Amino acid sequence: RAVGTFARALDCSSSIRQPSLHMSAAAASRDITLFHAMDTLQRNGYDLAKAMSTLVPQGGPVLCRDEMEEWSASEAMLFEEALEKYGKDFNDIRQDFLPWKSLASIVQFYYMWKTTDRYIQQVR
């Protein structure tokens, strides 16, 4: 998690697109970093020292992005508007609002979006 937090904090493009990223990265570094770390540990035969050395190669920390970071603020707003209009009909959302996004990307974004404070406030 520390490697993921550090990598996100250093990545300028993430900070520009998502100004609150530093707080988010510091809070949890999202599950994708944990999955990457577990996979790395398994691929290195559960040798912790070897796995840690591959997580931070000579070029710097490995950055794993999740779907929330790949979407711009305007795309997220389009998604929310489409969700209000079509509900969870992701095919129609893609066709009418986000044709440049894959269906898998939209579905993954939906489940990540449901964990945000914005969604929780809308539910209330």
Residues 75 and 115 in one domain: yes
Q: How far is CA 47 from CA 40, 41, 106, 109, in A?
A: 10, 7, 37, 34
Q: How far is CA 61 from CA 11, 35, 37, in A?
A: 10, 15, 12
Residues 18 and 45 in one domain: yes
Domain count, the chain: 2
pLDDT tens for 91-106 read: 999 999 999 999 998 9
Global pTM reads 0.50
pLDDT tens for 22-69 read: 555 555 455 566 777 788 889 999 998 888 887 776 776 656 566 666
Residues 1 and 60 in one domain: yes
Residues 58 and 4 in one domain: yes
Please give the pLDDT value at position 102.
92
Residues 80 and 119 in one domain: yes
CA pair distance 31, 34, nearest whole angstrom:
5
